[in-house]
Every structure is written in structure tokens, then in C-alpha cells.
Amino acid sequence: MKWTHPALPTLALLLPACLPGAHAQQPEPSGAIQTLRVTSNIVVLDVVVTDAQGNVVPGLKKDDFTILQDNKPQPIRSFDPWEEHPLASAPAAAPKVDRFGQPDWGDTPLTIFVLDDLNTPFDEKSYSAFTLKKYLQAQPAQLKTPSMLLIVNETGLHSLAAYTQDRDVLIRALDKRPASFPDQLAKGNDIDLLTESFAVLRQIALSSEGVRAHKNLVWMGRGFPTVDPSELDAPGNITLQNALKDTVTLLTKVRITLYKVDPITSNARAAATDVATSIDMGGGMGNRASVEPPSEDPLKGDLSFNQFAVQTGGHYFYGRNDLDQQIAGSLERGSEFYTLTYRPQQAPDADAYRAIRIQMRDPSLKAVTRQGFYSESAPKPEPTVKEMGFDLKAAATGSMKYSGVGLQIVAVTSSRTADRVTVNFAVEDKTLTWSPVEAGGESAKILTLLVAEDAEHRIQSSTAATLALAVKDARGIAKGVLNTHAQVDINAKTRFVRLLVRDSNGRIGSVDVDPASWSGAAPK
């Protein structure tokens, strides 16, 4: 019997959520704004090349590579050898900051560790944390690549430690991680878990917009459950496929490679794991996954986290007693890559799957990168306020930093009754998507969200507004910033005030308002 799960409508938009206590403000733009989605026709590939023994091969040239899209050679537009992707030096210095005070690690590869307490039972969660700590303890005090630590549980995605090269900061954060109970997992709510996992992966991708470096995402835990599309009705199946495609596209767009480290403790579950999607397994079974990408859309079958990782050019590990060493090996390979770009052929159909393969001049070498992408034959419609609002709400209730839109607090003032705060802020013009206006000039449409939260980061009140920032020439803005403001109600329970901005192309920026600037204003 075909069925539709009640969570599927949420997954259909990936984002339809209402903001509690939100005050809608929608100023009318001056002049009709044409919808213009700016999409890049350039595909960026981070390619790891290894020899027959699995060692990374340096010193290769552009002519050593051939890019094949759907088995057709593509001209290589640019080529960067991995020697030009600098690793952070030790001892680590503080990263450079941009003009808005945000850390800028440049082209240094970054690492994101995620503890999956949402989809992973207690015994395996403990082993995940143990494995990660074992890996960290084996590293030098100053890590080669800046790394952050996140945790996902039933309350959402939370940052335990921002990007740092200090190994001990990550270990302390790991030791102090909050306890959580996988209630949805215990109830067997697979579609709920799938929906929440997609939302988390989307948050990670959106928070990485504006950070140009390659990122290795190490997922410690089971990941979302495998779902058989044949068990869903046609609309539900389409919903899942679209959500999966959208999430893969977002991750690869921001240069994220996903590695899943599955702490299997059950022999029965290990036996049931689909080995065809595993890059590396224990028990002497060797490398069972082909580096050859499929010619057809690989995500049309069962939806599994394992396939998801392989699609991004990553690996899936399970059933080993040396998972900490597998993490080390993966991150070493993931930091030593060549970057190639090319302009793809226009696909005849929207959302058509285009398979990518790297052919090496030396046939003894293997090249691993993402396996394909989904093309767009026409620009997608501009997202609705409701769709954009979900992204912002997810960003507001977590502690992730978003750098896709450059923001800076200019001033903070309170009302005479001390129950409302006004935040004046600047937006960096270069981080917005500009569209022509019929009356002349250009405009950038943004959605702003200012939230007041309690100590548990629960939203008490929020103010959302859609704004059209119109200028005569976006390239001629003085100092490259635009100034505007937002207001939100506060009370005695308010502990955090956070500002977020999302532009029409999906980029998000966030900034936390210094409590010292408003805490004295809150009524007692």
C-alpha cells in the first residue's frame, strides 16, 4: 500500500515554518523588480588523486586530467594544484578578519565534525564520541586545518566549538556535549528523522556560503535512515527526490565533501548494511565501491545516507576498529586535492542528472570527486517569504555563524518603555544578488529577521521584513555597504538577540547583538 507521511509536506518545501510572534513588515519596493536568479555555469571540482597503494599523488599537471560529463570530454577552464591550497601553519595564529570582523581562513581547507545524536542510539553515540576523541588526541596541539564541532539532536543543530586550530578546545567541547535522548529514533519515525536530517545538512551548507575554501564534513553516526521510495505514493516520492537533489546541490555548491563514520556495534545491522555504497569496510573486505560514477541518476532508488556521501566525493566507513585512523586518512586526502573547473553543456531537461568522471592520463592513478550534478534548464522562481523564513528560523534558533551575507551592527537603541530594541545594521553590497529595475538602477531583495530568545534559545518574539534595497548603480555604493534597521520586543527573560539576513539567491548572514548594548534596557 502506498502512503504519504504527515511530515512530507514539510519536506516538500524543505522549509515551511511560521515564526512565532513574528510581525510582518513588507515595504513596497520603488519600481517593479524583475525576478533574476543568478546561477553559475561553472562547475568546481575538488579532485583527490591516489596511486595503487592509496597514497596521494602530488605534482600533477593540467594535461594529466580529462573531465568527462556524460562520457563527453569537457575543456578545463582552470587548474589549481593542491600545493596551492595552503594548510594553516603551526603554531596557529588568529585568522584574518574581513571588514565586518568575521574570521577569514582564506583558501585553507576546513573540517566540520558533526555528532549525530538524532539518528544514533545510545551505545553507538558513545562510541562515536570515543572515536572522535581518540582521533583528536592523536593530533598535534595545533591542528593543521581549522576545525569546528557541531552536534545535531532533537532540538536542532548546535555549535559546540567554532573553527579553531586548538585541538584542546575541541576536546573540551566534546567532553561537555549535552546529553540527549533519540526519541524519534526510538519511535521509528524514519520520515521525521529524514526531514530533520535534510534540514540540518541544509543549515550546514547555508552557513558555509561565503566561505570559499573546501570543507570536509565528518558525520559521526548513522545519518538519516534509508527510505524505500516504492513505499510512498507518487507525490511523496517526488518530494523526497527533490529534497535529496536540492541538498546534494547545496553541499557541492559550497564545496563540502561528506564522510560518514558509522559506529556499528550490532553484527546484525552490519550484515544488513548495503556494502555497494560503502567506500571502505573492515573485515578484510577491502574497497568494494567503484570510483566510476553511475550513468543514470543514482538517487532514484533507495534513499540512503551512504549514497549521499559518495555523491559528494566522500567515503562511508563502518565495521572497523580503527575508525579514528580512517578519519585521519580521509581528512589528509581531503586536504590534498586539485581544483578543476569547467563550463558544462546545457542539459535539455530541468533537473537532469549529469554524470562526472575524471579520467587520468596515467591509468594506474585513481581520481575521486563528486559524481555528478543536477542541471537547471531555466531559472527557478524566486522563493516565497515563507520558504525564506524557514531558513532564517533554523539559523536563528541555532548557534551557527552564517557568512553568506556580510553584516555589521552600526547602533543599538531601546524604546522609552525599554521593551523594544532597534538595531541599525549595514549590509555588504558585494554579498547580495542584484537585479535590474524597470525604472532604472538595480535592486536587491532581502528578508531580515531579528529575534529575541531566552536562555534555551527559544524564540520569544521576532520581527521579519522583506526589503528591496534600490540603488542607481550597485557597483558605485559608497564604502560598499547599505544601511537599514530592524526592531524586536524584549522582556526580562530575553538573553539573546540575533539578526539574520537572507538574500534572494539563498545566502544568509548572521550577527549576534552584544547583550551589553540592550540588556540594561529590558524591563524587570
Q: In what order do the strands lie in the sheet with 372-374?
A: 72-74, 65-69, 353-360, 372-374
Question: Which parts of 398-470 fold into alpha helices (H)?
Answer: none
- Tens digit of pLDDT for each residue in 400-423? 788 888 888 888 988 777 788 899
Q: Are strands 366-368 and 43-50 parallel, antiparallel or unpaired?
A: antiparallel
Cα of first residue to Cα of last residue in the chain, in angstroms, is 57
What pLDDT score does 263 carry? 81
State the alpha helices, DSSP H only, in 420-478.
Answer: none
pLDDT at position 392, please? 72
**Predicted local confidence at residue 384, as pLDDT:** 59
**Contact (Cβ atoms closer than 8 angstroms) between residue 343 and residue 39:** no
**Whole-number percent of the chain with pLDDT over 90:** 19
- The verdict on 388 and 507 lying in the same domain is yes
The domain boundary residue, chosen from 348, 378, 408: 378
Whole domain around residue 509: which residue ranges?
Answer: 8-38+380-521
What is the spatial distance between Cα 499 and Cα 509, in angstroms, rounded to a whole number? Answer: 8
Between 368 and 212, whose confidence is greater? 368
Q: Which residue's C-alpha cell is 510512498? A: 232
- Altogether, the residues listed in the chain come to a count of 524
> Do residues 397 and 516 both lie within one domain?
yes
List, for residues 501-514, the tens digit of each pLDDT value. Answer: 888 777 888 889 88
What does the pLDDT look like over 446-503, one tens digit per residue?
Answer: 888 899 988 888 888 888 888 877 766 555 554 456 778 888 888 888 888 999 988 8
Q: What contacts 138, CB < 8 A, 6 or more positions away?
A: 324, 328
Residue 49 confidence class, pLDDT cut points 50, 70, 90: very high
Give the count of domains, the chain.
2
What is the per-residue pLDDT for 492? 85
| Domain match, 384 and 426 both | yes
Domain boundary among 328, 363, 378: 378
Q: What pLDDT does residue 73 have?
A: 94
Does residue 366 sit in the same domain as residue 473? Answer: no
Most confident of 61-70, 230-239, 248-257, 375-384: 61-70
The x, y and z cell numbers of residue 190, run together, are: 524514519
Residue 208 is predicted with a pLDDT of 84
Q: For 275-414, list the strands marked E by DSSP.
A: 280-281, 316-318, 338-342, 353-360, 366-368, 372-374, 407-414
Residue 351 pLDDT greater than 60, yes or no:
yes
Least confident of 41-45, 101-105, 288-292, 347-351: 288-292
Structure confidence by residue, pLDDT tens digits, 15-30: 333 333 333 343 333 3
What mean pLDDT is predicted for residues 322-327? 83
Sole residue written with cell 565501491: 289
- Mean residue pLDDT of the chain comes to 75
pLDDT digits (tens, 9 = 90+) for 154-175: 878 888 998 999 999 999 999 9
pLDDT band at 358 (very low <50, low <70, confident <90, very high): very high
Say yes or no: 344 and 394 in one domain.
no
User: Residue 477 sits in a domain of what CATH number?
Assistant: 2.60.40.150
**Which residue(s) pair with 114 in the sheet?**
150, 219
Q: In sequence order, what are the beta bridge partners of 449?
A: 464, 500
Q: pLDDT at position 292, please?
A: 52
Q: Are both 440 and 464 inside the same structural domain? A: yes
Q: Are residues 407 and 511 in the same domain?
A: yes
Looking at 378, 399, 431, which one is the last position of a domain? 378
Residue 164 belongs to a domain: no
Band of pLDDT at residue 146, cut at 50, 70 and 90: very high
Residues 423 and 500 in one domain: yes
493 and 423 part of one domain: yes
User: Whose CA is closest to 168, among 186, 142, 188?
Assistant: 142
CB distance 436 to 364 below 8 Å: no
The interaxial angle of helices 190-208 and 385-397, nearest 10 deg, is: 90
Measuring CA to CA, which residue among 241, 237, 248, 304 is closest to residue 276?
Answer: 304
Question: In the structure, what pLDDT confidence band is assigned to residue 105 with cuts at 50, 70 and 90?
Answer: confident
Within a domain: 431: yes
Statement to judge: residues 384 and 508 lie in one domain: yes
